[in-house]
Amino acid sequence: MAIAEAAGEQLARRRAPFPMRAFVRDPLAIIGSVIVLLLIVLAVLGPIIAPYPGARGTGQIDVPSAYLPPSLSHFFGTDELGRDVFSRVILGARPALVVSVLVVGFAMLIGVPLGAIAGYRRGRIDGLIMRTTDLFLAFPPLLLAMVIVAALGPGLEHAAIALIISWWPWYTRIARAVTVSLREQPFVDAARAIGVRDMTIIRRHIVPNSLSPLVVQATVDVGTVILAAGSLAFIGLGARPPQPDWGLMVADGRSVILDQWWVSTFPGLAIFVTVLAFNLVGDVLLRVLDPRHGR
């Protein structure tokens, strides 16, 4: 049995090495990666870096300094409570990234195994899982999330749950498609012929080889979820005040957008730049990991 497992390991490890050189040479990839790294730094060191973090890490309230335009002491100006917008944007990096990574993580945790099982077993289980997936995917984007938040009540956690439920079907689909194509590969037949158990095959051979499209999707999705969470917050279904949520900040500044433009603009830019960065990285990953999508 050990020999069989070892042989199986050998076969599974035939993945191509990551083409680091091609990745590094692409200027867009560099820009995207730098921004992502910056984001991570901000998420980790937010409260320390922000000039006016405030007692609870949501921004120092200073009502007499409300609605100050951008200046040297307040790079992005101040909002209706006199809080430094620059600080709040920095502070907002952590909840944005944490929530989005958790959402994508859990969505994958639910979706990928389901998809792998569906693609591997085929037959009735496949039908059942894919019907359910199709059902969830039949909801217009974000509508399901909105309805769930409506049912659960507003709040960042509920929004996160709603997003996880909206997102897992995508991973099921991808995982299933990859599993189906991998299943036809000779090394899977070889492993089964030796007598390796189904779950082991899925775990040891199929999942590692299907990482490539999943990784690309996950990378882009981190950005997309930040966008979705921000959108939900904008219409009042996500984070609640006084959390430094970027979408919430845009909504807050909307009433004064025409004159005090900075209150909405900078948090909005933060969302935009973040999503752009993840899209860039995902785009380059796609080109690098899947040679069919050529230049």
In the complex, the residues that contact another protein under the rule CB under 8 A are 21-22, 131, 134-135, 138-143, 146-152, 223, 227, 230-231, 234-237, 247, 250, 254, 257-259, 261, 264-265, 268-269, 271-272, 275-276, 279-280, 283, 292-295
Output the smallest distance, CB 188 to another protein, in A.
26
Nearest distance in Å: CB 52, another protein: 24
In the complex with another protein, the residue whose CB is nearer, 218 or 237, is: 237
Tokens 């997003």: give the residue.
Answer: 163
Q: Which of 38, 44, 54 is nearest to 88 (CA)?
A: 54
Q: How far is the CB of 206 from another protein (least distance, A)?
A: 26
Nearer to another protein, 211 or 269 (CB): 269
Helix (H, G, I), strand (E, B) or coil at 84: strand
CB 110 within 8 A of CB 283: no
Distance of CA 166 to the CA centre of its chain: 13
**Cβ closest to another protein, residue 22 vs residue 199:** 22
Distance CA 183, CA 60 (A): 57
Q: What's the residue count for the chain?
A: 295
- Compare residues 32 and 59 and give the one whose CB is closer to another protein: 32
Output the smallest distance, CB 227 to another protein, in A. Answer: 6
Cα first-last separation, the chain: 45
